[in-house]
Amino acid sequence: MAECLHCGQNVPANSTGGAHFCCHGCAAAYHLIENMGLESYYQKRCLDPETQPIRPDENAPAIDFTSYVQTDDETTASLHLMVEGLHCAACVWLIETVLSRQPGVVSARLNMTTRRLVVRWRIGATDPQTLCASVSALGYRLAPYDPVLLGRESERQEKALLRAMVVAGFAAGNVMLLSISVWSGQGGDMNIITEDMMHWLSALIALPAIAYAGRTFFSSAIAVLRRGHTNMDVPISLAIALTAGMSLLETMRGSDHVYFDSAVTLLFFLLVGRYLDRRARGRARSAGEHLLALATGSVTVIGENGGKTIIPPAKATTGMHVLVARGERIAIDGVILSGTSDIDASLISGETIPTSVAPGDRVFAGTLNVSAPLHIETTAVGENTLLAEIVRLMENAEQGRAKYVAIADRVARLYAPAVHGLAALTFLGWVLLTPSPWQDALMTAISVLIITCPCALALAVPTVQVVAGGRFLKRGILLKSATALERLTRIDTVVLDKTGTLTLGRPELIVPEKADAPWRLDLALAYALARESLHPLSQSLTRAFDELGGEMPSDRGISVCDVNEIPGRGLRGSLDGEDVRLGNAAWCGLPLPSARRGTETSTEPRQSTKPPLGPEIWLRRPDAPPRLFQFIDSPRPDATQAVAALKRRGLNVLMLSGDREGAVAYAANRVGIADWRAGCTPSDKTKVLENLAAQGHLALMVGDGLNDAPALAAAHVSMSPSSAIDISQNAADIVFQGARLDPIVEAIDVAKQADGLVKSNFALSFVYNAVTIPLAMLGHVTPLLAAVAMSTSSIVVIANALRLARARARV
Amino acid sequence: MTVLVYLIPIALVLGLIALAAFLWSLKSGQFDDMEGAANRILFDEDDGPIPPHKPH
C-alpha cells in the first residue's frame, strides 16, 4: 500500500487527496511546501512513530489567538505558542522557514527542547490568524502558551543557579591564582606588602562573589533556621561565611591565615552539584505546561441562531451547545446531542482503541474526537471536569510523598548541631582554658568547622546519584527525583499497569492456530474493506494481512466496491451486488455483547471457548455466519522475563488495569502475574496503592497513561516508559526508554548498589571525622591542613562513588 | 614585582570580560535550546540544490 507523501500514513483507496496522499489536507500541505521550494524537508525529516502524524485537519476550528498577542513595542507584536506534532529538527526548520517567509514577520523561533514557538511580526503587516493558519496547514497543531503563567519561575531559578556557578567559578580561579602566588612566595622573596596586597585583592574578588553566588545556600539556611530546623545548607553557609569573615579579619591584621580560596572553591563545587541536579530534573517542570496546553484548546459554541463562535474553555458554561470537529480534542465534559463518532480516551482510561459513541453518551475533556463531528451539550467545565479531577488526585498524592526527606538532610539534622556545638565548645575551651588570644581560639574553632565541613557528607549522596544517573542514562533511564534511588531500595511490591506499560499499547490481530482457508478468505474480504479506513483496528488488520503473505485467495477474486465508513460503527461495501459489513457487533446485526456470549456457542464453538480478550470486529457477508476477528494488545518482548526477575528479587508483582477483565486476565496469565485487578478507575488505582501503604508495603508503580498519573504520584516510587504521555512522565520519578521492561529490574539493582555505596560513604566520612575532630579541637591542625584533609576526604568519597560506574548489571 | 601591578589587573579584566560575555550570552537566550541549536546547523538555507521530489 502506498504511503502518503506528506504524513507517511497509509493511503486509503478512495482517498480525497488522490493516489499519493491520504487526504486533501496532506495534498494541500505538500503543494504548499513544494511551492515554497522547501521540499527538501521530506528528505531531511525522520518521522517519529511515537508522535501523532502531521496531518492537516480541515475541520478543526481555528483557535482565536488574538487575545494571546503581546505588544512588544510600537511596531512589533509577538505570540507565544506550543507546537504539537514535532518529529525532528526538520520540522523546526520547516515551521521557522514557512513563518519567516510570511510578509511582515520579523522573527520566528521554535525551541526544540520545550516545543515553544515565538513569532514576532510588524503590527499591521499581518495578523496572528494568518500566521497560525500557515503552520496548521502543514499539519502541526498549535496551542496558545502564556509565558507569564508557566514555567517561568523554575527556569529563572535554573538560570540564576548557572549565573551563580559561573561567578563562583570565575572568583575561585582568580583567587586560587593569587593564593598560589602567595604560597610559593612564602619564605621566599615576596615581601609583606605584596602579600598583603594579594590578600586584599583576594578579598576584593571573593567577598562579592560569595555574597552573590552563595545566596542559594544562605537563603535556604536562613529559611530553615527560622522554622527551627537545620539542613545541609546550614553548616555549608556557616562554614563559608565564617571562613570568609575570619579571612577578612586576618587580612586586616596582616596575618597569614587567609582562606578565601577554600571558601570560594567549596562554593563553586557545591554550585556545580546543585546545577547538575537541577538540570537532570529539568524535564519535570513542563508538567503544568502540557496539562494547560490541553485545556487551552478552544470551544466552538453554536448560538441560538446557529452562528458559531469560538471561545476559550475558561469562558464556557454548562448547558452550552458545542460543536467538536473531527480530530479535535474535547475541552469540556458533556453529553452527545447528535452525531456518532469514535472517541480516543487513551488519555483518561489508557485504552488505546477508540470507543464508538452515539447520542446520549458522555464524553470527557481531554479525549480526542476521532472520526466525525459531534454536537455536545456541556455538563461540566474547567475545574469540574474529569481531567481536572485527575489532576487534583495527582496533586494530593504528590503532597503526601513530599514528606519524604533525603538521607543527607536527615543526617544533617543530627550532624549540624553536633558540629556547631563542637566548634563552639572548642572556642570556649581555648578562650577559658588557655592564655592564647581570642583570635587564635576562633582560628581553632574554624579549623574544627572546616575539618568537619560536611563536604564529604554533602558529597556522599549527590556523587553516588550523579554516577548512578550516568549509568542509567547509558541504558536510557532518566532519574528525575533526587530521593528516588533511596526510595527504590526499600520497595517490596511492584504495581504494573497493563496497557502501554506491560504491553506495547498496539492491537495485534489474533491468528487462530489453524488459520484455514475459509478464515483466510474472510481475512482477505475484511482486508478489502479495512484498507479504506484509518481506524487503528482496520490498520492492524491490514498489517496482519500483509504479514500473512498478503495474497488474495486465487479461487475467487474479491472485488469490493462502494466502500464507505460510518463513524462509530464500521465499514460497508458491496460484493457482487451484495452488502458486506465490517465493524462492531451491532453494525453487523448481532445482539449486544452480553447476550451474544450465550448464543454464540452454537455457531462459533472454537471462538467462544476463549474469554473476550480485547477489542474485536465482526465481518458480515451475505452467504455465511458472521466472522469474528479478535485483537490483543501484545506484551512487551521481555515482559515475562522481567516479571520473573522481579519475583526472583522477592518482590510482589501486582497488575492494575482499566481494561476489561478478560483482556487483563489473559495478559496477566501470559506474563506470569497471579495478582491482578481489572476495570480500575484512576481513583481505584490510587486507593489500591494507599491500601498497600496502609498495610506497610512500599510500592513501585509503573504506568503510562493519564489515568495512572495519580497512582504514580501516590506510590512510594514510580516509573514511566518514555512512550507515556508527558503528564505521567512528569508524575514519575524515573522514566525509561525502549520497548523492553528490563530497565525496571536494572533500576532496582542499581539503586541497591547505590544504597550500599552511600552507606559506605557515610561510614568513611564518620571515620574520618572521628580521627580528625579531636586533633582539630586540640589545635594540632591549622586551617590549611584542615582544608587539605577535607579535600582528601571528599576525593575518597568521590572515588568510592565511582565504583558504581564500573559495576556490572546482573539482570 | 612591579610588573604585577599591570599583570594582575590585566588578568582580572580579561577574566571579567569572559564572565560578562558568558552572562550576556546566557541572558540573550543562547543556552535555552541546546538540542535545537545542535540540529539547526544542519538545516541551513545554503545547502545547495536538492534533487526535485515530485509525486509520480
Please tell me the least confidently modeled range out of A32-46, A60-74, A671-685: A60-74
Residue A427 has what pLDDT? 87
Asked, for residue A167, whether it belongs to a domain, the answer is yes
Q: Is A696 left (phi over 0), alpha (psi -120 to 50) or beta?
A: left
CB A676 within 8 A of CB A657: yes
Q: Do A568 and A489 share a structural domain?
A: no
**CA nearest to A194 within chain B:** B1
Mean pLDDT of A196-224: 91
How many structural domains comprise chain A?
A: 6
Residues A309, A359, single domain; the answer is: yes
Last-in-domain residue among A227, A259, A287:
A287
Sequence ranges of the domains in chain B: 1-44
Q: Is residue A801 part of a domain?
A: no
Higher-scoring residue by pLDDT: A350, A740: A740
Interface contact A40-B8, CB threshold 8 A: no
Around B52, how many Cα atoms within 13 Å sit in the side-chain half-sphere? 8
Which helix (DSSP H) or strand (DSSP E) does residue A749 occupy? helix A742-777
Query: Do A624 and A645 fall into the same domain?
Result: no
Cβ separation B33–A93 shorter than 8 A: no
Asked if residue A154 and residue A282 are part of one domain, the reply reads yes
pLDDT at A204: 93
Asked if the C-beta of B49 comes within 8 angstroms of chain A's C-beta atoms, the answer is no
Kindly list the residues from chain A whose CB atom is less than 8 angstroms away from the CB atom of residue B19. Answer: 166-167, 170
pLDDT, residue A13, reads: 67
**Residue A600 pLDDT > 70:** no
- Check residue A188 and give its pLDDT: 67
In a domain, residue A786? The reply is no
Same domain, A710 and A628: no
Same domain, yes or no: A644 and A499 = yes
B33–A159: do the CB atoms touch at under 8 Å?
no
Inter-chain touch B39–A166, beta carbons under 8 Å: no
Residue A51 pLDDT more than 70? no
Q: Does the residue A718 lie in any domain? A: yes
Q: Return the sign of the alpha-carbon dihedral for residues A672, A675, A681, A685.
A: negative
Per-residue pLDDT at A295: 52
Contact A113 B26 (CB under 8 A): no
Whether residue A246 is contained in a domain is answered as yes
Give backbone dihedrals phi and psi of A586, rounded to 5 degrees, phi first: -65, -40
Residue A147: band (very low, low, confident or very high) from pLDDT cuts 50, 70, 90: low
- The pLDDT of residue A393 is 67
Does pLDDT of A640 surpass 60? yes
Is residue A124 within 8 Å of residue A69, measured between CB atoms?
no
Which CATH number belongs to the domain containing residue A646 in this structure? 3.40.50.1000
Same domain, A630 and A519: yes
Contact B40 A88 (CB under 8 A): no
When scoring B16, B22, B28 by the number of chain A Cβ atoms within 10 A, the one with the most, hence best to mutate, is B22
Distances (CA, A) of A23 to A12, A19, A27, A33, A54: 9, 10, 7, 16, 12
pLDDT(A559) > 50: yes
A805 or A721: which leads in pLDDT: A721
In chain B, which residues have their Cβ closer than 8 Å to the Cβ of A151? none
Contact A282, A155 (CB under 8 A): no
Residue type at B35 in one-letter notation: E
pLDDT mean across residues, chain A: 77
| Catalytic residue flag (residue A497) | yes
Pick the residue with more confidence: A592 or A414? A414
Which has the minimum average pLDDT: A82-91, A327-336, A346-355? Answer: A346-355
Answer whether residue A422 is part of any domain: no
- Residue A24: give the domain boundaries: 1-33
Q: Please give, one letter per residue, the 3-state secondary structure of A77-117.
A: EEEEEEEECCCCHHHHHHHHHHHHCCCCEEEEEEECCCCEE
Question: Do residues A382 and A510 both lie within one domain?
Answer: no
Q: What average pLDDT score do residues A795-811 get?
A: 70
Q: Residues of A with CB below 8 A from B45's CB?
A: 97
A397 pLDDT exceeds 70? no
* Partner residue opposite B39 with nearest CB, options A34, A89, A174: A89
Q: How far does A231 lie from chain B, in Å, by closest CA?
A: 30
> Can you give the pLDDT at residue B13?
92
User: Which residues from chain A sit within 8 angstroms of residue B36, using beta carbons?
Assistant: 89, 92, 110-113
User: Which residue is it, cell 539493582?
Assistant: A749
Is A770 within the bounds of a domain? no
Over the stretch B34-54, which tens digit does the pLDDT of each residue have? 777 777 777 665 444 444 444
- pLDDT tens-place string over residues A238-292: 878 888 888 898 889 887 778 788 788 878 877 877 776 666 554 444 444 455 4
Q: Give the Cα separation of A698 and A490 in Å (integer).
A: 7
CB-closest option in A42, A191, A201 to B8? A201
Same domain, A547 and A615: yes
Q: How confident is the model at residue A28 (pLDDT cuts 50, 70, 90)?
A: confident
Average pLDDT over residues A754-762: 85
Residue A175 has pLDDT above 70, yes or no: yes
Between A796 and A550, the higher pLDDT residue: A796
Considering the domain architecture, whether residues A159 and A276 belong to the same structural domain is answered as: yes
Q: Given the C-alpha cell 470507543, which residue does it identify? A: A355
Say which residues have a Cβ less than 8 Å from residue A356's Cβ, sequence separation at least 6.
Answer: A340, A341, A342, A343, A567, A568, A569, A584
Q: Give the separation between CA B38 and CA A780, rounded to whole angstroms.
A: 54
Decide if pLDDT at A808 tops 90: no
- Out of A233, A261, A497, A522, the active site residue is A497
Residue A203 — pLDDT band, cuts 50, 70, 90? very high
Bigger pLDDT: A395 vs A341: A341
CATH number, residue A564: 3.40.1110.10
| Burial per residue of A771-809, b for 16 or more beta-carbon CB atoms within 10 angstroms, e otherwise | ebbebbbebebebbbbbebbbebbebbbebbeebeeeee
Chain A neighbors of B54, CB-CB under 8 A? 34
In a domain, A598, yes or no: no
Q: What is the CATH number of the domain that holds A121?
A: 3.30.70.100
Nearest CA in chain B to A93: B43
Q: What is the pLDDT of residue A404?
A: 59
Pairing of strands A493-497, A699-702: parallel
pLDDT exceeds cutoff 50 at A379: yes
Task: Give B35→chain A minimum CA distance, Å.
Answer: 6
- Say if residue A606's pLDDT is above 50: no
Nearest to A236 by CA among A210, A275, A199: A210
- Residue of chain A minimizing CA distance to B36: A112
A573 pLDDT band (50/70/90 cuts)?
A: confident
Residue A207: pLDDT over 90:
yes
- How sure is the predictor about A686, in pLDDT bands with cuts at 50, 70 and 90? confident
Query: Residue A18 pLDDT > 90, yes or no?
Result: no
3-class DSSP state of A396: helix
Quote the ipTM score: 0.75
Distances (CA, A) of A67 to A78, A80, A82, A107: 11, 11, 15, 20
Q: How many residue contacts between A and B have a Cβ separation below 8 Å?
A: 72
pLDDT value of residue A1? 56
A72 and A165 in a single domain? The answer is no
Residue A5 has φ and ψ, to the nearest 5°, of: -65, -25
The pTM of this model reads 0.60
CA distances from A698 to A491, A674, A693, A701, A789 (A): 5, 19, 6, 10, 40
* Residue A725 and residue A580 share a domain: no
Cβ-Cβ contacts under 8 Å, B43 against chain A:
44, 89-90, 92-93
Is A652's pLDDT higher than 70? yes
- pLDDT reported for residue A475: 75
CA distance A770 to A512: 71
- The pLDDT, as a whole number, for residue A602 is 36
Last residue of a domain, one of A145, A170, A205: A145
**Which of A618, A634, A650 is a domain's end point?**
A634
By C-alpha distance, the chain B residue nearest A94 is B43
Residue A402 confidence (pLDDT) above 80: no
